Structure formats: C-alpha cells, structure tokens
Amino acid sequence: MSATIYDSKPLAARMAEELRAEAAQFRKRHHRPARVAQLVAGHDAAAEVYSRQLVRSCRAIGLGCATLAYPFEIEEEELRAEVAALNDDANTDGVVLLLPLPAHIRQRIVTDDLRPEKDVDGLGSRNAGNLLLGFPSFIPSTADAMLAVLRDADLSVAGSNAVVVGRSNIGGKPVALVLLRQNATITICHSYTQDLQERRYPRGEYGTAGQYHC
Amino acid sequence: MSATIYDSKPLAARMAEELRAEAAQFRKRHHRPARVAQLVAGHDAAAEVYSRQLVRSCRAIGLGCATLAYPFEIEEEELRAEVAALNDDANTDGVVLLLPLPAHIRQRIVTDDLRPEKDVDGLGSRNAGNLLLGFPSFIPSTADAMLAVLRDADLSVAGSNAVVVGRSNIGGKPVALVLLRQNATITICHSYTQDLQERRYPRGEYGTAGQYHC
C-alpha cells in the first residue's frame, strides 16, 4: 500500500474560519465572548508552550482566555476551590487544566471536580467514561484532531487494522477508542510490546505514534 | 505454545468462602446484612437467568438481595425515580440494573443516575471512565473474573499479545483495558475484522472470545 502525505493546513484554516463564525454568534447571543480559563500550577516547559498556543488560538478565533497561574506549592484543596469557583462562574464556558500538575496534587481528584460540560479536554472520568461507552463526550484533542483529519480526507478505517503506539490517557487510549468506534480493528502497543518494529506497519494500514507512557 | 486447561472451581469455592466471611463481618459491624437491589424491567430470558443466579449467589454468601421487577411499559422517568430512591436508601449497598432495558428507555441516562459507589457492575460513566483512566473503579464482572483467574493461576500477561474478540461495553472493552493495565499488547477484534481466524491465535498468546456487538 502506498503512502499519501496529508496536508492539514487547508483543514486547519477552514476550521478556524468556522470557529470564528461560531464565536461571533455566541458573542451576539450572549452579549459576551465565550471564555476559556486555563489553570497552570508551577512551571513545566512543555505545558507553557501549549498554554501560549492556547492563548494565541483563542485570540485568533475570538474567544476570551483567562490564564490563572499558581505557584508550584499550591495545595490540592486550594486548587480544588479554584476549580469549584470556575464551575460556578457563569462567564466561564470551558476549563483547561494544564498537565502535569505538581506531584503532591492528585490529578484524578482535581479533574473529577471539573463539571463535565466545562471539561473541554475530556480529562475527567465522566467524559472518559462516555468516550469508552460510545456516548457523546468531549474527546482529548489528539484523538479529536485525528477524527477531523479522517473525515476531511474522506478516509474510512472500517475493517482496517490500526496500530496505536502509546497508551496515555490523553493520547493512545482515546485515539484507539475513536478508531474502534469507526470500526477499525485496533492494536495498542506500548513500552512492554516485544515486537514493536515488526507489528507497527506490516499488518496495520493506519499507524499513530505517540509517546510511551506506562 | 501448549495450552493448559484451567479449572476455576477451586478459585470460585475460595472466593465464596472469603465473601461469606466479609459478609458476616459487615453484618456484625452494621447490624444488618449488606444488600444488593436488582432492577428488572420487562422480560428477557438471558437477564432472568442472570437474575436468578444473582439471587442464589447472594443467598449462598449471606447478602440480602431485593429483586424489584417493573412492567416493560415503565417510563424512563419512573425508572429514574426508582434508581434515585435506591441511591438514597442507606440500607441498599449495591444496585444491579439488568440489561437490556426496554428500548424506549435510554440506558445511558439511567446508568448515569446510579451513584458510582453503588454501581457494582461498573455500567455508569464514572466507573467506566476510571477504568479507562487506570483509576480505582468497579469493573464489569467478566473482566473482573478474568483478573481473578490470572492472579490465581499466577499468569503474567506483561509483554504478551492478547487478542480480545468482541467490543461490548460489558465484555470486550473492559477485558481489553484490564489486560492493557497488566501490560499486555492488546488487539480488539469485532464484526468488521477481516482476518479474524488468522488473527485470533497465531500472534495472540491469550485469547478471549465474547460476542459480536457493534
């Protein structure tokens, strides 16, 4: 099978256009811009790159973006109180919790405080559960982007063998579930997989490569 | 690789013994037996077999089991009210919702009403999400039984290739996630899989066969 290199730029431009129109409609209807709040605890180089990109994207589309930064030392209870306040804030429509959180904060406790309808990254158990069960949910962005690309390229993966490399909660697992929902046969490989090089492509018509998380 | 036939009877007897002791302790501590309530709406032959087995098992172990049967015609709202009442009932510790529900009732709405700590079959999105994310949760019984067998037989599947046939929410998907958590490389096959016979065993050291759900 020959490979096709897919150019995502036209799709990205079209999606930005659609989102701008949607954001403008929201503004008209609600007399305020839709607003995302991102919570950043401590410093992480990768998270900060992601955070700046989010601010830029929001600005380009016409969304409000509030960046709430906390020192590394913030207690779990304090962070939970901040999340609870955003849950109740009628002017905040989506909340992004930048990962990783400082090690003394239990991620699953904080992500589960987030109201599912504001958990736009799909980090909490309600959204994850609905993704697993095949019900409507927010889907972590890598998997969601892959869906958009498949749709744009008019590729059907039904009956195909898809190999997913990596099994993180925001990468490999949601990607695999999205492909399964599209009727692909899925194989999830990871750091314990013995014959990764051999498995990766000979049988898999579609491959996605992520990171190795255990 | 040669096959070993595993006899589950000694494990089942040992687990029943442990559960009897646990149930007796609960009774002593709470001055009442632990109680499971099962909700049955309409008639389904397979569900009724399961329901009778549950009653028998509860009796053998020393749990209370209340079977609440409703006519097929029960409205979603009424069933939700019954679930809400059991959520609030301090004498009900676990709730089993027998599937399938009548077609006019939305399963995901009713299962999501169930308090996660009483959702012993792990049907709701909170438990499903925690299973997906690798956090503690109730696990659907087929997958949970498989875990118990692996542990009892002292089988490590880490680094093995596991083939799961079927992708239902109570069968294939939780089984695959449990094997993934044990560090197996997993492949989920289903009705769209093209080369099922070939895939099933040549590469998979462990296979589980369920039903084909789409």
- How far is Cα B161 from Cα B158, in angstroms, rounded to an integer? 9
- CA atoms of B66 and B59, how far apart (whole Å): 11
Chain A positions with Cβ closer than 8 Å to B: 108, 124-135, 158-159, 161, 167, 169, 173, 177, 180, 183-190, 192-194, 199, 214
Which residues of B fall below an 8 Å CB-CB distance to A?
Answer: 108, 124-135, 158-159, 161, 167, 169, 173, 177, 180, 183-190, 192-194, 199, 214
Q: How far apart are CA A66 and CA A53, in angstroms?
A: 13
Q: For residue B140, which of B154, B150, B130 has the smallest C-alpha distance?
A: B130
Residue with tokens 């002017």: A91
**Cα–Cα distances in Å, from B86 out to B38, B80, B93, B115, B167?**
10, 10, 9, 9, 30
Q: How is domain A141-209 classified at the architecture level of CATH?
A: 3-Layer(aba) Sandwich (3.40)
Each residue's pLDDT tens digit, A66-84: 999 999 999 999 999 999 9
**Residue A55: pLDDT over 70:** yes
Judge if A9-119 and A141-209 fold alike in CATH terms: yes
Q: Name which of A111, A125, A157, A193 to mutate to probe chain B: the one with the most chain B Cβ atoms within 10 A of its Cβ.
A: A125
Torsion on CA atoms B40, B43, B47, B50, rounded to nearest 10: 80
CATH 1.20.1640.10, applies to B9-119: no
Q: Tell me the shortest Cα–Cα distance from A13 to chain B, in angstroms.
A: 33
Q: Which residue is it, tokens 């409507």?
A: A136
Is the pLDDT reported for residue A206 higher than 80? Answer: no
Closest approach of chain A CAs to the CA of B55, in angstroms?
A: 28
CB atoms within 10 A of CB B29: 9
B108 and A158: CB-CB below 8 Å? no
Q: What is the pLDDT of residues B141-155, one digit of tens each?
A: 999 999 999 999 998
In total, the C-beta contacts within 8 angstroms joining chain A to chain B are 104
Alpha helices (runs of H) in chain A, residue ranges in sequence order: 9-30, 45-61, 76-88, 107-113, 125-133, 141-152, 172-181, 196-200
Determine, for residues A185 and B192 on separate chains, whether the beta-carbon distance falls below 8 Å: yes
pLDDT tens digits for range B175-204: 999 999 999 999 999 999 988 877 655 555
Inter-chain touch A128–B133, beta carbons under 8 Å: yes
Amino acid at A169: N
pLDDT for residue B212: 32
Where are the domains positioned within chain A? 9-119, 141-209
Burial bucket for residue B207 (CB in 10 Å: 0-12, 13-18, 19+) = middle
B130 contacts A130? CB cut-off 8 A: no
> Please, is A5 exposed, middle or buried when counting C-beta atoms within 10 Å of its C-beta (0-12, 13-18, 19+)?
exposed
Q: Say which residues have a Cβ less than 8 Å from residue B206's Cβ, sequence separation at least 6.
A: B157, B160, B161, B162, B163, B179, B184
